[in-house]
Chains A and B, each alone.
Chain A
């Protein structure tokens, strides 16, 4: 001690360890017997397989946890299923009380939880204490405040939710999953990550203290096998998964139940864009928070630095100077910036990727100091000499490794930023509000931070575009992910009569495909025949094939970038309805001819179709976003953006009404449409394209491809340039297949059960469902102040 004091003229940071005694004594008590949490009780697993858990900062063993077996998972799901009816029927106030109790308990045990999380995960105590745990409490408070707003007679809780969470924010991800699920009346079976289950088990103790009703929250520890028992369980009605894109895709691909809801929060390679007019010193700090937060093990980590060429050199110099001052080491030390990597295998992976990048000629820079060697540490690392084609610029490293790319102009920045299969987040740095707000909508990502990074709050939605997954967590959009809406069902089927007699005036018709605003012959040169409801031949109609799909998508994906103003879209739809009016006779005859509807029903469908187009014409400029109010000086804009190119596959029900509902809603929200009408009623769609031509629908926004029923489903759902796929089908098997195939590029899919759907329903909740499904929400964080 004297030496330090005597030499007070040369300063240094000494050790500043956080006390860990209480936590270690709890860990000791935990290990034997190992526990899983079902029905509010800790029970033994039925199996003997164990997980070894370590403290990554010193590699010391912390104990063993059970790998929950199929039997365990069955038991947990059974408990959750049993608890569901009562829990879902509790008043929102009653449920809120439980959530509030959990929020309070988390705050009262905040330091304990912080220390436990740090020991288990390796992240610095600074982060668990100041970020993770306060956000956990915030999440329970926020959702305690969600009243029955979105739970009404039409929107229901889903049932038993299977939740699989990652190791990078163990308790925070638990909170993101559990709080909204409980608030909306669901019950859960949650599997914490195999490396980091301890805070979840302590949380289970808090559930006991809070008297959470039996079976509402069940926690099963385990590895990938336990996860599979969850995803394979037929009583689980929704899977909420956060983890790698690879595993997420596997879950979708193997999903057997088309009625099961899935939300996927997956990987990323998020751009961090620095323009020459940014506050550069602050941008450097932003990078510290972007890629050296949680050792870079963050799905939305700003791992791709895009810096404008004019400032690249000086910026990199500033960045390197800053990196020299980062401190890596014991995460329980209060003066540490970067803690330990979660597991040996993860450290090994980082090492391999970095070595491979060096071999490829990318230039690696690391600070002059070296990391402690007693734990799983990795230094902050910077790659320069990187181009978009370098693998290090594409692959998600999930470690403290930053890659640098340069750009010259704003449009080049956007092009490079979007040059990735992922689309989770982006950070934009510029003091020019015009520039920043111009770039934000152009980046394909679910979260945009302007002059900031890695800001999170329960009031704002978080989740990805493209292969970063779908579904949102947090905010009103997060609530939507935990309620279900079922399409309205027709009470009794419409009358179809063989007696309906309509004169066939259509013999000389030659319908074509409608692609890019032009009538085209099918690539194959083949047609199929259309018969009336009495099986009398009407005409031949083109049979589109994969090449027609290819050509259509090429055109549709180009026009989507020339986005029309919403007022334009609105006017066009109104005009379409106007023009439809003149064709009343044609459509009513066609409807009767094809389906044998009596005239009254056909007229009702026709009239509703006009009304429907009017509705969506009016919603083109009224289906708006929100402003969220996180506790910062700033705003978060929750903007509704179009999905992109959506292909819709129809069935024969209400052939005119379903067609206009889909094309009008999709067009209203700014998507480009590819519509595959049902085989038998294709003629309705062919009749429609003439109207589209006369209604000034710009070419390429609505395309109609007739084909044999379900013959294009696979090609469409696998096509990587189609952003969304809608399937309205009675066949569970077709629905399942389309969902499975859509993993190729993680399309936004909507394949609702479509048997006896009452398309005549005019309720807002039904009509708006199409608007919700044709949009995705981007949260743009805009802190301000001068």
Chain B
């Protein structure tokens, strides 16, 4: 059962989902006060966080030069001196993946040489509204160019219209096109507005074969936060309990500080368990987060607060 990719669309399950916003907010507000990690434990959690990062550049002005910097940072996410002080070697720590637009896949491939997976955003990212044939072709093109993972965007309109069948069919078709390649379905939570919609869209994507569900493109006004993440994690848990299949989670957009990433990790640990905190089931879409983590590690090893400019840019 756990190896099964596609599940039938169960609309009665989807339509019966209940989410209480005030209760969700109370949970996230208190959770971050119920748990904390300090000192060497915090260092361990932050190191772990690095291995979960999908180090991302998704700008219209991305060039080879930019992606070269990104890939090098992905391979060497922590300053060598800090690594030394932590008694770790550079092979111990790599980011989870690099995440780029289609046109840079080949360059990335040359730079990281299969040491790190390359994720490509696809299917008309970020709005996902180009023709269905074009979007499908985008997936196969990116895979041909060497993408190891595909981050697809869903058609948010289908969610707002409660057109679960169409949403299901599209995502299922995308996954079919991707074959054995990991598919992360981006919900665009900011466009869905309500947590009920977020939960329902999560469930439909999982039924349709998505390997990961991802909060957002980073281009909407609301991105990953603890509330929408909590709802998605609870859907992953329900889906796992019903099907035995573990679906991954990727919060993206707006997670830029160590404090914030720890809150997300605690949320996952508390709702799904520690077994979910590994790159196979958890990724964090981020660009400036890495340098903040590095500063915290610097502070831990040196006892002094770090200056950002001493640490290498990504």
Contact = CB atoms under 8 A, between A and B. Distances in A.
Interface string B33-63: 1111111111111011001000000000000
A634 interface: yes
Contacts of A14: 37-42
Given A14-B40, A16-B38, A282-B27, A8 B20 contact: no
The 4 closest A-B pairs by CB, nearest first: A14-B41, A282-B23, A783-B22, A8-B44
Nearest to B231: A281
B21 to A, nearest CB: 4
Nearest to A12: B41
Interface string A275-286: 001111111011
A8 B48 contact: yes
A1 interface: yes
Contact of B277 (A11, A279, A282, A335): A11
Interface in A183-225: none
A14 B35 CA distance: 10
Given A4-B44, A8-B48, A431-B18, A786 B23 contact: no
Residue with the greatest number of chain A CB neighbours at <10 A, chosen from B33, B88, B269:
B33
A535 interface: no
A451 B20 contact: yes
B304 interface: no
Interface in B197-235: 234
B196 interface: yes
A282 B88 contact: no
Contacts of A280: 18
A261 interface: no
A126 to B, nearest CB: 5
A20 interface: no
A5 B89 CA distance: 12
A532 interface: no
A7 B44 contact: yes
Contacts of B234: 281
Given A1-B40, A16-B36, A126-B33, A784 B18 contact: no
Contacts of B48: 8-9, 11
Given A279-B23, A285-B26, 10 more contacts: A4-B41, A8-B47, A11-B269, A14-B38, A126-B33, A130-B33, A277-B18, A282-B27, A335-B36, A452-B26
A337 interface: yes
A8 B195 CA distance: 33
Contacts of B40: 1, 4-5, 14
5 contacts: A4-B41, A126-B34, A289-B30, A451-B23, A786-B196
A2 B39 CA distance: 11
A334 B44 contact: no
B38 A15 contact: yes
Interface of A: 1-2, 4-16, 126, 129-130, 277-283, 285-286, 289, 317, 325, 334-335, 337, 431, 451-452, 632-634, 783-786
B12 interface: no
Contacts of B41: 4, 12-14
Contacts of B25: 785
A431 B17 CA distance: 10
A325 B20 CA distance: 22
B24 interface: yes
A693 to B, nearest CB: 51
Interface in B49-95: 51, 86-88
A11 B194 contact: no
A785 B22 contact: yes
A12 B36 CA distance: 11
A285 B22 CA distance: 12
Interface of B: 18-27, 30, 33-45, 47-48, 51, 86-88, 194-196, 234, 241, 265, 269-270, 273-274, 277-278
Contact of B20 (A7, A431, A633): A431
Nearest to B274: A11
Contacts of A337: 34
Contact of A452 (B23, B33, B274, B278): B23
Nearest to B297: A5
A8 B41 CA distance: 8
Given A335-B35, A431-B18, A11 B23 contact: no
A13 B37 contact: yes
A320 B86 CA distance: 39
Nearest to A325: B270
A16 B37 contact: yes
Contacts of B195: 786
B20 A6 contact: no
Contacts of A5: 40, 43-44, 47, 86-88
**Which one of A9, A126, A282 has the greatest number of beta carbons of chain B within 10 Å?**
A282
B87 A6 contact: yes
Contact of A282 (B20, B43, B47, B194): B20
B23 A285 contact: yes
Contacts of A334: 33, 35-36
A285 to B, nearest CB: 5
A2 B19 CA distance: 43
A532 B188 CA distance: 88
B143 to A, nearest CB: 29
A482 B194 CA distance: 45
A784 B22 contact: yes
Contacts of B18: 277-280, 431
Contacts of B277: 11
B43 A8 contact: yes
Contacts of A783: 22-23
Contacts of A452: 22-23, 26
Contacts of B35: 13, 334-335
A335 B43 CA distance: 17
B194 to A, nearest CB: 5
A93 to B, nearest CB: 36
A339 B260 CA distance: 27
Contacts of B30: 126, 130, 289
Nearest to B87: A2
Contact of B194 (A9, A10, A634, A786): A786
A451 B38 CA distance: 34
A452 B20 CA distance: 10
A281 B234 CA distance: 8
B24 A282 contact: yes
A335 B48 CA distance: 19
A648 B43 CA distance: 71
Given A5-B86, A8-B47, A786 B33 contact: no
A4 to B, nearest CB: 4
Contact of A634 (B22, B24, B45, B87): B22
Contacts of B38: 14-16
Contacts of B43: 4-5, 8
